Structure formats: structure tokens, C-alpha cells
Structure 1
Amino acid sequence: MNEKLGDRLAMLRFLESVQDRDLARTRRWIQEMERLIAEQARRRPPPPPPDWVVQYGIGGRAVRPAMVHTAQCWVPGGSMEGISRTQAIEALTSGGVPPCILCRPEKELGVLE
């Protein structure tokens, strides 16, 4: 009986060594794939800058947006997020978000005139 337990233990140790090698190989594959993905991301051109920006006041996205700007507006403040033309129009018309009084995004968008 004791001999059978020793044989089982030897088999389990062998299985453990096989699984360790398999796990090490899998981890190498994962590292290689992560390296390839990072390399591809570095080669990709950056996304184009947004044409429109929504500004959030104190509290960030947890509160209602404070203002809509053109992306070229120099007015800093709060957190800013790029938005699409459609989102900018929606924010200005039905969203109740005021336009910046300096860059006047509503004129470029052709709304609220």
C-alpha cells in the first residue's frame, strides 16, 4: 500500500513539472502577444483632435456640462472632453449647455442664431 502511494506521488510530481513547463510557455506567449500589441499601438497614428469640446466645471462629469467650445478655444478650465459635431449641436440645442462667449461654437455649428 505504501509503495502505491509513493508511485502516485511520483506521478503527481511529474504532472506538476509538465504543467509548470506548460504554464511557463503560455506566459511567454502572453508576453510576446502583449509586446506585439504594444508595438502596433505605437505605430498607429494618434486620433485626430476633436472639432468640438465640452467643458465640465467643478465636480467633473458628475455634474452637468458647463460650456461647449470649439477645439481651438483658448479658454482653460475644468475638465474638457472632445465631442462630435452631432453631440455639440445636441448639447447646445436640447441639452441646455451654453456656448462659450469667446469662441462662439454656435456660429460655426449654425445653431442658436
Structure 2
Amino acid sequence: MTDLPPDLVRLRTLEMWLVLSLDRVRERIAELERREREQRVGEARRPPTPAFTVETGIGADRPPLYVHVGGCHMAGQRVHAVSRGAAAQAVADGVEACSHCRADTELGVA
């Protein structure tokens, strides 16, 4: 006893359906593998997270508002990477350190 159709016409139809389905599965696998490769390449090319950033305000003069530890989730979109010395100088000059990442504590000036 078999679960396959008994006649050749239906077997050929089933074969065609399986071939088409297998092609779709293989295309999807290739697409996902391509995405994974692109993601790995993107991660490898991503620049390292800076140690400290300064968030600036809006406007022509763009005054510094906050000093953040690099990668702080509270940093806005207007951030610029700075050196440890520049971050410490900014805090010393009165730029507020982020209360979430505690950049001043990380700098040892709090």
C-alpha cells in the first residue's frame, strides 16, 4: 500500500509541484544566506564605538549639551566622537555629563 497516486498523470503532476516547491525553498535559502553574508560584512566594516561622545544642540553654533560614554542609549542623533581628554575638558568646562551612562564617573571627575 502506498500513499502516492496510482496513475502516471497524477504522479507527473505531483513531481512538477515538488520540483517547483523545491526551487522556491532553494531560492529562499539562497536569499537568507546572502542576507547573512551581507550582515557579517557590515558588522566587520562597522567602525568601533568611540570611548566618549559629545552631544550638541540645534542651531548654527551647536553648543555642546551632554558628554556620553560611547554607545550610550540616551545619546541623541547629534553626537560626535571625542577623545578622553576632550570629554574630561568638556565636563570641566561645564558641559553636563549624561545621568544615564555617568560619563563623569567613567572619566573620574565626579
Measured against the shorter chain, the TM-score band is 0.5 to 0.7
Partners of 2:69 and 2:102 within 8 A in 1: yes
Given the superposition, is the C-alpha separation of residues 48 and 78 from structure 1 closer, same or farther in structure 2, using an over 3 Å criterion? closer
What is the TM-score with the length of structure 1 in the denominator? 0.52
Identify, as 1 or 2, the structure richer in helix: 1
Normalising to structure 2: TM-score of the pair? Answer: 0.53
Query: Could you say which residue in structure 2 is the equivalent of 1:110?
Result: 108
Q: Which amino acid aligns with 1:83?
A: V
Counterparts of 1:46 and 1:78, CA distance in 2:
17
| 1:27-84 alpha-carbon deviations (Å, 9 max, x no partner) | xxxxxxxxxxxxxxxxxx6653310000012126x23101000012101424110000
**Is the contact made by 1:57 and 1:78 (CA closer than 8 Å) also made in structure 2?**
no
Residue 101 of structure 2 aligns to a residue whose secondary structure is coil
Specify every segment of 5 or more residues in structure 1 that has no aligned partner in the other structure, as ranges: 1-44
Q: Distance in 2 between matches of 1:78 and 1:88?
A: 18
RMSD: 1.8
Closer, same or farther in 2 for the Cα pair 1:85/1:76, shift >3 Å? Answer: closer
Runs of 4+ off more than 3 Å: 45-48
Aligned pair 1:73/2:72, yes or no?
yes
Q: For residue 99 of structure 2, what is the aligned residue in structure 1?
A: 101
Look up the match of 1:53: 53
Q: Percent of pairs identical after alignment? A: 38
91 and 50 in structure 1: CA distance in 2 versus 1, 3 angstrom threshold:
same
SS in 1 for 2:105: helix
